[in-house]
Structure formats: structure tokens, C-alpha cells
Chains A and B, each alone.
Chain A
Amino acid sequence: MLDATARKSFPVTITALLLLALSAPLGLPGQPQLQAAVALACVFFWSVFRPDSMPPAAAFLLGLLTDLLSLVPPGTSVLVLLIVHGVALRTRRFVAAQGFLVVWLVFLAVAAGAAALEWALISLLTFRLLPASPALLEFGVSAGFYPLLATIFTRAHRGLADPEKA
């Protein structure tokens, strides 16, 4: 019973831990963009492949965590991650059956939309037109980092995060 619960909560826990770890001063180039990219990739992957383990409430809380860890107006990442979750759920039937490349392409589209939406929301909420280069960097980092995360998560999806293997 405990094992099944632990397996079910693995996706959310690993996303939260990654977000917290990426706040530490690791000195990586583009680290804040990497944090946002990891949130996007995790929510997208688990919403497509194991939506039971990533309910909408989890996307809400992960978005809130991302917002409170940085100085963005609270609620921006919440909305973006909820929309990513919703899109992933809607296209789940088609996407989950495809190979890795198609899933990556779909994720590219989603990440582009998410970066643009976040830029627009923060510009609106802070009443100033922000430069677009951090958003482009965020899109680039999301696109580049997704394969690594997807490889690791696919192994987890088949093994560690599968509640039926409890």
C-alpha cells in the first residue's frame, strides 16, 4: 500500500526536488531558465504518460512553488503549467502512442507557447515590456533539455513510477 502510494507520488516529488535543487547556487549558465524548463518538461511528460500521478492540483502546486521560489508575480507559472497540463491531457490519446521524436516536436510547440505566454503575463502584470531574449533562451533550454529528462523519466515510467508494480 505504501509502495503503491510512493510510486504514485514519484513524479510530483521528483519535479519538486528538481525545482528546489535548481534554485541552489550551482553556477550553471541559464539556470533560472533551466528551472522553468524542468517544470514545463516534467508536467508535460507526466501529464501525457501517467496523468494519474500528475493531477491538476499537482500542476497547480508545482506552479505555485515555481512562483514563490522566484520574483515573478505569483500565479504566472501556475496558469502556464495548468494550461500545459490541460493541453497534454487533451492531446494525450494521439501523443502517447507516438515515437519519441513526435512527442519531442509536440513538446517544442508547447514550450514555445508556454514561454510566450509567460512573457506576456509577466509583462502585463508588471506594466512594462520585458525583453524577449530570456523567453527565447527558456524555449531553447526547454527544447534542448527535454530529451535528457524524457530518457530518465521513461525508465522511471516503466519501473519506478508504475504503481502496478508495487
Chain B
Amino acid sequence: MIRLSIPVRQALAKLTLPVLIAASFGVMLLGKADAVLAERARMALADTLSPLYALAAEPLARMREISDDLQNLWAMKAENQALRDENDNLRRWHAVALALDAENTVLKANLHWIPDPAPSYATARVVADAGGVYARAVLLSVGPDNGITRGQVALDENGVVGRVTELGARSARVLLITDLNSRIPVTLENSRARAIMVGTNGPRPRLMYWPEGTTPAEGERVVTSAEAGAFPAGLPVGTVRYSSSGVPEVEPAARLGRLEVVRLFNYGLRGIQPPENALRPEGKPVVAGRR
């Protein structure tokens, strides 16, 4: 190392902290000015870490299952009765659904119905929470050549989970519907009224901007609407529940606190993307000067 005199070395040591604080302001400015760079840095770290998280995901899931079983042992009798009642109810609906399905097939054949193309999907495992204190997002571990692009809709077995916002080589970040920046156009199933579901970083997003004359009813099912080309219509989102202060909120159908595996559907819709994503929705970096 270069030999410096003690006073010089002490002066340099005193300077380190102010220089680093200035560097932190520089990082903030850079992150704000060049969102693509920030995203690439985040996804580079996520790509490095996602195999490690994926290794730990299976044991963690088993441990959570065990702790869930222990909790369920307390409430087993009541839960059993509730499940039996729900089972009876669902059997009745199963019979109704079969009859409706048969009627639907006959009607579609009579009308020469052209079916929508079945969407392709990729399945990914949730390996980390990736939101932080003021955001709600999860990190998915995806394989190579997955065909995932930004803006794809993520669903678990019960309902809409969120949309892909950032994409790396081996991982993807999905912004959940409960995040503060999430605004999803929805339809209330019974009244067919359009509304917007706005995330609040809490467990239940709020409903806003429904038309005058129709109030969301408690227990009404909420599905996505096809406005703004962001989501296909009809995906299950949740149920309307009123909070204690009388604000209509949506209880998400997806189990957002216990996500393990999600499916990313490719409906061919991009929705409204920020300008820096317009050139490269597939997540591959733009090579300057080459096509």
C-alpha cells in the first residue's frame, strides 16, 4: 500500500464518512434518474440469491405446514363441522354447475360460438418477500426460456395475486394487489358496476370510484374488468367486506400471506407500462447500436 503519513491518514479517515454520505445522495439521484439501472441492479441481486432462496423454500414450506397443523389441532372440531357444511353446499353447487355446463355446450354449439384461445402460462415458485416496509411484492424463481414478460398477470389457485413488474434472468418480481401503487379495474359481479381496487399496503385493498347509484354490497364477488387492457375480464379477485369505518374493502381470494406457487398467464395484454419498459418488455437488455 502507499505509505502515507499519520496526519494524512487520519484526515482521510475523517473524510470517509462525508464522502460516503455524498455518495449515498448520488445513489438516490441515480436511482431516481435511471429507473432501468435500479431495476437491473435489483434483479441482478435477485438472480444471484434466488437459487439459494429456492433451496430453502421447500424446508420452510414444510415447517409452516407443521406450525399450521399445530394451530389447527386446537380448532379441529369446529373446523370439521364448518367443512362438512361447506362440503354439502358445494355438492349442491356442483350439480347445478354440471347442468349449466351441459346447457352452455348446447347453446354454444347452436350459436357457432368461437372460443377464446386458451392462455399459455408459466408456473413459478415464490421464494422471497421482496417489498420492504412501504411496498408489497414477492420474488419468484423462474427457469430459463420461460416466455415471461413484464405486465403478465400472476394468479394462485384462488384468485389474482398481482402483476410482474421486474424481470431478471432467473427471477421475477411480482407487485401484489395490496401494494400502494396497485390500481386494478374491477367489476362487481352482481351489479356489474365498474370500480377501481386500490391497494393500501394493508391486508385488504379498498374499492373506489364506483358509479353513483350502486353501492357495493357486503359479500359481493369482485372480478377483474377488461378496462385499460390491463387484465382480462372475469378473473376472480375477492369479496367485498366493509371495514369498521364503513369503507368498502376487498378481501382477496388469493392467499397473499401464504403464497407458494403462482401461475403467470400470458393473455397477450400489456396494459399501461411505464415508458422505460416500452422498448424491452421481455426483460432482455437493449444492446446499444445493434438491432
Q: Which residues of A contact B (CB under 8 A)?
A: 20, 23-27, 31-33, 35-36, 55-57, 59-60, 63-65, 68-76, 78-79, 82-83, 85-86, 89, 118, 121-122, 125, 128, 130-131, 134-135, 138
Q: Residues of B contacting A23 with CB < 8 Å?
A: 49, 53, 128-130, 139
Q: Residues of A contacting B201 with CB < 8 Å?
A: 131, 134
Q: Residues of A contacting B130 with CB < 8 Å?
A: 23, 69-71
Tell me which of B21, B28, B175 contacts A83 (CB under 8 A).
B21
Count of B residues near A, CB < 8 Å? 46
Q: Residues of B contacting A56 with CB < 8 Å?
A: 16-17, 20
* B15, closest chain A residue (CB): A56
CA distance A76 to B137 in the complex (A): 18
B131 in the interface (beta carbon within 8 A) = yes
Can you list 17 A-B contacts (CB < 8 A)? Answer: A23-B130, A27-B64, A27-B258, A31-B129, A32-B132, A57-B20, A68-B45, A69-B130, A70-B130, A71-B42, A71-B130, A74-B42, A75-B31, A82-B24, A125-B28, A125-B32, A135-B133
Please list the 8 inter-chain residue pairs (A to B) with the smallest Cβ-Cβ separation, ordered nearest first.
A70-B132, A75-B28, A74-B31, A75-B27, A71-B135, A78-B24, A79-B24, A68-B45
A76 to chain B, nearest CB (A): 7
Judging by beta carbons under 8 Å apart, are B16 and A70 in contact?
A: no
Main DSSP-derived SS at the B contact region: helix
B83 in the interface (beta carbon within 8 A) = no
CA distance A36 to B124 in the complex (A): 27
Judging by beta carbons under 8 Å apart, are B133 and A25 in contact?
A: no
Q: Residues of A contacting B24 with CB < 8 Å?
A: 60, 63, 75, 78-79, 82
CA distance A71 to B26 in the complex (A): 18
Give the one of B17, B24, B135 with max A CB within 10 A: B24
Q: Residues of A contacting B60 with CB < 8 Å?
A: 24-26
Tell me the B102-150 residues at the A interface (CB within 8 Å): 126-135, 137-139
Q: Residues of A contacting B135 with CB < 8 Å?
A: 70-72
B38 in the interface (beta carbon within 8 A) = yes
B58 to chain A, nearest CB (A): 12
Judging by beta carbons under 8 Å apart, are B133 and A68 in contact?
A: no
Q: Which residues of B contact A (CB under 8 A)?
A: 16-17, 20-21, 23-32, 38, 41-42, 45, 49, 52-53, 56-57, 60, 64, 126-135, 137-139, 173, 175, 180, 200-201, 257-259
> A56-B16, A60-B24 in contact; A70/B259 too (CB < 8 A)?
no
Judging by beta carbons under 8 Å apart, are A25 and B21 in contact?
A: no
CA distance A150 to B45 in the complex (A): 29
CA distance A25 to B62 in the complex (A): 12
Judging by beta carbons under 8 Å apart, are B131 and A74 in contact?
A: no
A88 to chain B, nearest CB (A): 11
Judging by beta carbons under 8 Å apart, are A134 and B27 in contact?
A: no
Judging by beta carbons under 8 Å apart, are A79 and B28 in contact?
A: yes
CA distance A56 to B14 in the complex (A): 10
CA distance A57 to B25 in the complex (A): 15
CA distance A36 to B127 in the complex (A): 19
Q: Residues of A contacting B16 with CB < 8 Å?
A: 55-57
A2 to chain B, nearest CB (A): 20
CA distance A82 to B26 in the complex (A): 14
> A25-B126, A79-B25 in contact; A72/B133 too (CB < 8 A)?
yes
Judging by beta carbons under 8 Å apart, are A74 and B133 in contact?
A: no
B133 to chain A, nearest CB (A): 5
Q: Residues of A contacting B30 with CB < 8 Å?
A: 74-75
* A115, closest chain B residue (CB): B133
A42 to chain B, nearest CB (A): 17
Tell me which of B25, B42, B56, B175 contacts A24 (CB under 8 A).
B56
CA distance A36 to B283 in the complex (A): 29
> A56-B16, A74-B27, A76-B28 in contact; A25/B132 too (CB < 8 A)?
no
Q: Residues of A contacting B139 with CB < 8 Å?
A: 23
CA distance A73 to B41 in the complex (A): 12
Judging by beta carbons under 8 Å apart, are B31 and A73 in contact?
A: yes
